[in-house]
C-alpha cells in the first residue's frame, strides 16, 4: 500500500476516534457508566456493549471495504475499555470487537485484544490518582531535568509515561505480527522508520482523543453538580434568614395576647406549633402551592387574632389547578407579613389582604394585594423578608422568574410573582430531587 494512503488513513482514524467518542458521550446512560468509579456487573456489561458496538462495526466495515482502513480501531477500543473500566471491561470488550475479525479469518486479533484489554486494566489498577487517566496526553514531559530531579528525590512510577509506553509497545507488536503473519491480524504497516513513527503516534493520539473528549464532558458534569449543590446550599441559607425573622415577630404577637386572652393565646400556640413543624422540615425546599397557602393561613390566623377580625380581612381568589404547582417553601409568608406590618398595621381602620393564583402560558402567577397605606420607600428597604424573596427567586429561577411590586400611597400595594411551572417529582420537598429538576429547567431555558 502506498505511504500516502497510509498517512491519509491515519488522519481519518483520528477523525473517527473523535466522532465516535463524541457520539457515545452524548448518551446520559453511557455517561453514567463511563464516569462511575465503582461499577457492578450490569454497569460493566452496558459500558462494553455501548462503547464496543461502534468499534466492532468499524472492524466489520474495514474487513468488507478493504480501502477503508481507518474504520478499524478494535485494539484502541480494548485499551480504552481497560483503562476506563478495568480488566473485565478490557478483556470482554476486546473479545467483542474481535468477533468481526475472527469471522474474516484474522485469528491473531483475539489474543492481541485480550492482551491489550488486560494490560490497560492492570494499569488502571496501579494508577494511584485516577485523574491521571482522564488527563492523559500524547505530549509527554520533555523536561529531562525535572524528571530526573523528581526521580532522585521521590522515586515513583510515572503513570502517564508508562501508559504511553504500553500503547506504543502494543501497537508495535501488532505491526510485527501483521508483517510476520499477513492476513491473520490487521495493522497499518509500511517499511521505514518515518512511517513507523507516524503509525505509533497515531495510535497514541487515537487513545488520547477519546479520553480528552470524555474528560471534557466529565468536567462539565462536575461543574453542573457543583452549581446544583451551590444552588441548594444558597436556598437553605436564604431560607434560614426567614425562619428566625418570622418566629420573632410571631412570638411578639402571641405575647401581646397572653395578658388578657389566655384561651386565645393557647389557640395561637397550637397554630405556632403547626408552623414550627413545617419550619423544622428543613428538607422541604419546595412545596405544593396548596401547602404554602395552608402555612400562610396559620400565620394569618395569628395576625387576625392580634388585630381583630374587623381590622384584618383575608380574601382568596385561587385557581384550583394552580394549587398542585410547586413553589419555593416560605415564599408567600414574607410578602404577606410585609403587607400586614407595613401596609395594614399603620392604617387605623385596618384593611384586607387578597391572595390570588392563576396559571397561564406555562407560567404560575401569584399575587398578594393589600389596601393599606402603601409604600413610601423602595420595596424591601426595611426588614429581611422582601429582599429575601427577591434574592431567592434570582437564585432559584435566574431570569425565568419575575417579581413586580406596585404601590400607591394611601391605596395599597400589590406584589405579583411570575414563576415557571415545575412538575412535582416523586418525593416532593427532597432538595436533591427538586433542585435537580429546577436546575434542569433552568438549563433548558433559552437565554
Angle at 367 between CA 357 and CA 328, to 5 degrees: 75
Residue 86 CB contacts under 8 Å (≥ 6 apart), including other chains: 39, 44, 121, 124, 125
The pLDDT of residue 98 is 95
Q: Residue 184 and residue 177: Cα distance in Å, rounded?
A: 8
Cell 531535568, residue located: 145
Q: Given this model, what pLDDT does residue 447 score?
A: 43
User: Does the 261-443 domain belong in CATH 3.30.565.10?
Assistant: yes
Q: Determine the Cα–Cα distance for residues 318 and 149; give it in Å rounded to an integer.
A: 74
Question: What gap in Å lies between CA 7 and CA 375, rounded to an integer?
Answer: 76
| The Cα angle at residue 162 between residues 166 and 123, in degrees rounded to 5 | 75
Residues of the chain short of pLDDT 70, as ranges, are 1, 139-157, 229-230, 233-234, 236-243, 245-246, 249, 279, 281-284, 376-385, 423-447
The 3-state secondary structure of the chain reads CCHHHHHHHHHHHHHHHHHHHHHHCCCHHHHHHHCCCCCCHHHHHHHHHHHHHHHHHHHHHHHHCCCCHHHCCHHHHHHHHHHHHCHHHHHHHHHHHHHHHHHCCCCCHHHHHHHHHHHHHHHHHHCCCCHHHHCCCCCCCCCHHHHHHHHHHCCCCCHHHHHHHHHHHHHHHHHHHHHHCCCCCCCCCCCCHHHHHHHHHHHHHHHHHHHHHHHHHHHHHHHHHHHHHHHHHHHHHHHHHHHHHHHHHHHHHHHHHHCCCHHHHHHHHHHHHHHHHHHHCCCCCEEEHHHHHHHHHHHHHHHHHHHCCCCEEEEEEECHHHHHCEEECCCHHHHHHHHHHHHHCCCCCCEEEEEEEEEECCEEEEEEEECCCCCCCCCCCCCCHHHHHHHHHHHHHHHHCEEEEEEECCCEEEEEEEEECCCCCCCCCCHHHHHHHHHHHHHCCCC
Q: pLDDT tens-digit profile of 78-105?
A: 999 999 999 999 999 999 999 999 999 9
Whole-prediction pTM: 0.66
pLDDT of residue 443: 55
Instruction: Kindly report the backbone phi and psi dihedral angles of residue 278, in degrees, each rounded to the nearest multiple of 5, phi listed first.
Output: -65, -45
Q: What pLDDT is recorded for position 210?
A: 95
Give CA–CA dist 123/50, Å, rounded: 22
Q: Kindly list the domain boundaries of the chain, sorted by start residue.
A: 3-221, 261-443
pLDDT digits (tens, 9 = 90+) for 241-287: 666 766 776 787 778 778 777 887 788 888 888 877 876 765 667 88
Amino acid at each position: 500500500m502506498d505511504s500516502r494512503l497510509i498517512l491519509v488513513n491515519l488522519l481519518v482514524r483520528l477523525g473517527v476516534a473523535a466522532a465516535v467518542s463524541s457520539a457515545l458521550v452524548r448518551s446520559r446512560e453511557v455517561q453514567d457508566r463511563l464516569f462511575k468509579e465503582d461499577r457492578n456487573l450490569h454497569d460493566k456489561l452496558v459500558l462494553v456493549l455501548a462503547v464496543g458496538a461502534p468499534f466492532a462495526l468499524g472492524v466489520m466495515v474495514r474487513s468488507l471495504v478493504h480501502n477503508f482502513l481507518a474504520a478499524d480501531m478494535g485494539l484502541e477500543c480494548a485499551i480504552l475499555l481497560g483503562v476506563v473500566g478495568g480488566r473485565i471491561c478490557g478483556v470482554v470488550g476486546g473479545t467483542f470487537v474481535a468477533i468481526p475479525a475472527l469471522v474474516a479469518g484474522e485469528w491473531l486479533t483475539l489474543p492481541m485484544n485480550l492482551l491489550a484489554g488486560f494490560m490497560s486494566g492492570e494499569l488502571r489498577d496501579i494508577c494511584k490518582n485516577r485523574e491521571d487517566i482522564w488527563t492523559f496526553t500524547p505530549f509527554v514531559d520533555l523536561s529531562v531535568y525535572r524528571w530526573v530531579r523528581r526521580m532522585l528525590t521521590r522515586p515513583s512510577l510515572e503513570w502517564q509515561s508508562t501508559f504511553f509506553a504500553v500503547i506504543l509497545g502494543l501497537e508495535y507488536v501488532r505491526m510485527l505480527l501483521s508483517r510476520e503473519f499477513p492476513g491473520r491480524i490487521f495493522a497499518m504497516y509500511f517499511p521505514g522508520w518515518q512511517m513507523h513513527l507516524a503509525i505509533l503516534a497515531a495510535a497514541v493520539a487515537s487513545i488520547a482523543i477519546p479520553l480528552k473528549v470524555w474528560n471534557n464532558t466529565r468536567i462539565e458534569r462536575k461543574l453542573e453538580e457543583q452549581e446544583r449543590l451551590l444552588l441548594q446550599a444558597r436556598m437553605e441559607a436564604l431560607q434560614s434568614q426567614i425562619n428566625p425573622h418570622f418566629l420573632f415577630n410571631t412570638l411578639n404577637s402571641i405575647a401581646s395576647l397572653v395578658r388578657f386572652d389566655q384561651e386565645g393565646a393557647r389557640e395561637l400556640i397550637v397554630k405556632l406549633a403547626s408552623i414550627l413543624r413545617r419550619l423544622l422540615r428543613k428538607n422541604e425546599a419546595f412545596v405544593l402551592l396548596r401547602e404554602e397557602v395552608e402555612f400562610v393561613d396559620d400565620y394569618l390566623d395569628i395576625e387576625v387574632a392580634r388585630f381583630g377580625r374587623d381590622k384584618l380581612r383575608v380574601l382568596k381568589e385561587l385557581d384550583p389547578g394552580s394549587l398542585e404547582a410547586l413553589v419555593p417553601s416560605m415564599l408567600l409568608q414574607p410578602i404577606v407579613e410585609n403587607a400586614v406590618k407595613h401596609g395594614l398595621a399603620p392604617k387605623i381602620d385596618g384593611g384586607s389582604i387578597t391572595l390570588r393564583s392563576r396559571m397561564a402560558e406555562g407560567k404560575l402567577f401569584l399575587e398578594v394585594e393589600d389596601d393599606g397605606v402603601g409604600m413610601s420607600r423602595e420595596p424591601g428597604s426595611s426588614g429581611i423578608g422582601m429582599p429575601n424573596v427577591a434574592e431567592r427567586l434570582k437564585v432559584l429561577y435566574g431570569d425565568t422568574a419575575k417579581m413586580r411590586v406596585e404601590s400607591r400611597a394611601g391605596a395599597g400595594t400589590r406584589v405579583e410573582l411570575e414563576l415557571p411551572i415545575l412538575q412535582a417529582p416523586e418525593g416532593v420537598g427532597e432538595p436533591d430531587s427538586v433542585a435537580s429538576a429546577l436546575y434542569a429547567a433552568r438549563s433548558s431555558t433559552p437565554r
